[in-house]
Every structure is written in structure tokens, then in C-alpha cells.
Amino acid sequence: MPVSVICGGQYGSEGKGKTAYYFAKEQNAKAVIRVGGPNSGHTVIDPNGDAIIFKHLPTAAILQGTKSVLTAGNYIDLSVLKNEIAFSAIKNEDLYIDPYAVVITEANIEEEQKGGLRENIGSTGSGLGSAVISRIERRKDVVFAKDIEYLKPFIADTNQYLRNLLKNGERIIVEGTQGFGLSLLHSNLFPYCTSRDTSAAAFVSEAGLSPRDVDDIILVIRTFPIRVCGNSGPLKNETNWEEITKIAKSGTTIQEFTSVTKKLRRVAHFDAEIVKQAISYNQPTKIVLNHLDYLGFTTKNEFNGYLDDLEQKIGQGIDYIGTDRETLIIRKELNFVLNQFKVNEYV
């Protein structure tokens, strides 16, 4: 110990990027590990108030003094990572990449896009799934990070680096991707899932850490769950953005677009069952509830009544609430301020 793991409790886009950034600051994390690949984007608000979307770097890459780590469980789109390195101006000594992280090739992308996954299950077509298959089949044409000249300044033994941090008592954050309902192993909606397991245990494995290192599992959920556009699978209690706009009592239309494909998201009313499953599998020590600003509360009693009812439905307390793209408030310390609940433009 100490390792904190951030995971999603629905179908992705719960606000894990914001949450990872918050806890990296709050817990003074020395390193943040981003697992997964370019099929999911995490948004963070920089000190200037601008939204930044990272598909590879952890959101804490914009924090001074925090190291960013891509481990052997990562699947890297080289062009995406190059752009993020350039945009963030991250220094060579602040980014560690495991030599056995896999690089997604053009062949992987073409294979995945030709396979019809976009049309059949709403896949992003990023090539990650094809790269995972290539690795599983032990194909000789698998490309590792150590084979790419551009990546050589960042190559390091990430396990040893992380182990040394833990020996010195430094906090590490594992920034998981997507949501529990998309797990290849544990979702009951197969084949409408992603190409990896999306549980906290899987993220720890991808990071090259031991379960014994973990002392904090943070489950992130949202008031209105989403799925990506298209034929992406069942979404219980599905509604539309016009209805969400009415509930929020917003003068402008609320809409969310996927951070990777920039398409309008599907949206639904809260479903306790998927969250209860996520709690059962992940056993979180903390729960973060985002998008309280979509509920249009006008009184303190409405607000507290909603939270009390939701906590009863999922069988566990809410520890933090999110009211916009950058704010997290500790539930027990919350002073209800109506003007905090303003609708923001979400990415």
C-alpha cells in the first residue's frame, strides 16, 4: 500500500478523469497510471478553465510533480500519444512507459473496422480489440513500445519504478477506463461490451501491481447513465436529452457527445441494479456521484431526499458529489448552495 483505484460503475463517462485528477491532488499522489487504450477519453479542466481530453495520458499529467505511467497493460495509438505529449508539454522524466505496452498498428485498426463492430455493437473502431487479439494469439507482428524509436526516451521498468514508490510510502493512483457494465468478463450484456475487463481487479493487474497494494477503491457513478451512440446495447430506463433538459430546468438544451467519436450519447434514468453489481464486484471504499447539476433541485430537502433514496437503493453511502466538470464536494461536509447547481456544457 498505498494504491487508489478509480473505476466506473455504469457504462463509462461517469467522470473518472475528473475524479482521478481530484484524488491525485487530494492524496498528493506521486504517480498516476492510466490503463486501457484510445477507445475512451477522459476529460480534465486545466487551471485556465479549459477542458482537455486525454485518451492515453492520465488526467493528472497536467499536475506539477506527478509522474504519468503507461504500463504493460496499455494499448497505444502512437499518433494519439504523440499529440498528447506535445499538447501537455510533459517532460521525458515525467512519463514512464513499460517496454511491453502494445502499440496499435494500422493493420489493427483496419482489421477492427472491417469486422463490423462499429455497426454491430457501437465500437469506436480504435483498433484496441484487434491489438488485444493479436497479443492473445501471440502473433509475431505484435509491436511493443520498446520497438518504437520515438518512445525510447520514456521506456522504463514500470513495475520496479512503482514498487520503489510503494516502498517509500508514496501514493499511486490507477485511473481505470470505461465502466463496469462494459466488462468483457462480468457484464451480463455480452456482446455489447468492450474488449477488456473493466473491474478494479483488472486495472490493478494491467498496472502490474498486487491486490495487496490497494487500500482505496473509488467507484464513480452518475445520476443519468449513458451509453455510446448507435447499436451499443441495452440501456435500461432510456430517455432523451430533451427530457434531461426539462428535469434540470435548464434554459439551454443539455447534450453530451462522446469524447472519442464526437457523437451524441444515449442517456437513461438512474438504474440501481448495474451500480449494485459494480459494488458487489469492486467493493469500493468510496463512491463518487457526478452530474448532480442535471437534477434541477430548488430546495435542500429535495437534494437530501434524492441522495438518501439513492443510497438506500444501491446499499451504500455516497461519499463525494460532483456538480460540474471539475468540482467534487465531500458529502458530509456539503453546504447546500443552489447556485452551485448550474448546467455546464459537457464534452
Looking at residue 258, its pLDDT comes to 78
Say if residue 234's pLDDT is above 70: yes
Confidence of residue 68 (pLDDT cuts 50, 70, 90): very high
Q: Is residue 261 part of a domain?
A: yes
Q: Is residue 331 part of a domain?
A: yes
pLDDT in tens, 69-87: 999 999 999 999 999 999 9
Looking at residue 339, its pLDDT comes to 47
Query: Rounded to the nearest 5 degrees, what angle is found at the Cα of 51, between the Cα atoms of 49 and 57?
Result: 125
Q: Is residue 345 part of a domain?
A: no
Say if residue 103's pLDDT is above 50: yes
**CA 247, 249, 255, 259 torsion: positive or negative?**
negative
Residue 221: CA atoms inside 13 Å, Cβ hemisphere, count?
32
Q: What is the CA radius of gyration of the chain?
A: 19
Cα 202 from chain centre: 14
Looking at residue 347, its pLDDT comes to 31
- What backbone phi and psi angles, to 5 degrees, belong to 155? -70, 130
**CA 100, 103, 104, 107 torsion: positive or negative?**
negative
**What CATH number is associated with residue 140?**
3.40.440.10
Give me the number of domains the chain comprises. Answer: 1
pLDDT in tens, 259-287: 767 789 999 999 999 999 999 999 999 99
Q: Are 320 and 286 in contact (CB under 8 A)?
A: yes
Q: Is residue 346 part of a domain?
A: no
More confident residue, 46 or 97: 97
Q: Which residues, including other chains, have CB under 8 Å from residue 101's CB and lie 6 or more apart?
A: 70, 71, 72, 73, 74, 75, 76, 144, 145
Q: Is residue 174 part of a domain?
A: yes
Q: Are 316 and 329 in contact (CB under 8 A)?
A: no
Q: Is residue 93 part of a domain?
A: yes
Q: Residue 172: name the closest of 331, 328, 35, 15 by CA.
A: 35
Which structural domain range is residue 233 located in?
3-340
Q: Is residue 200 part of a domain?
A: yes
Q: Is residue 226 part of a domain?
A: yes
pLDDT in tens, 159-189: 999 999 999 999 999 999 999 999 999 999 9
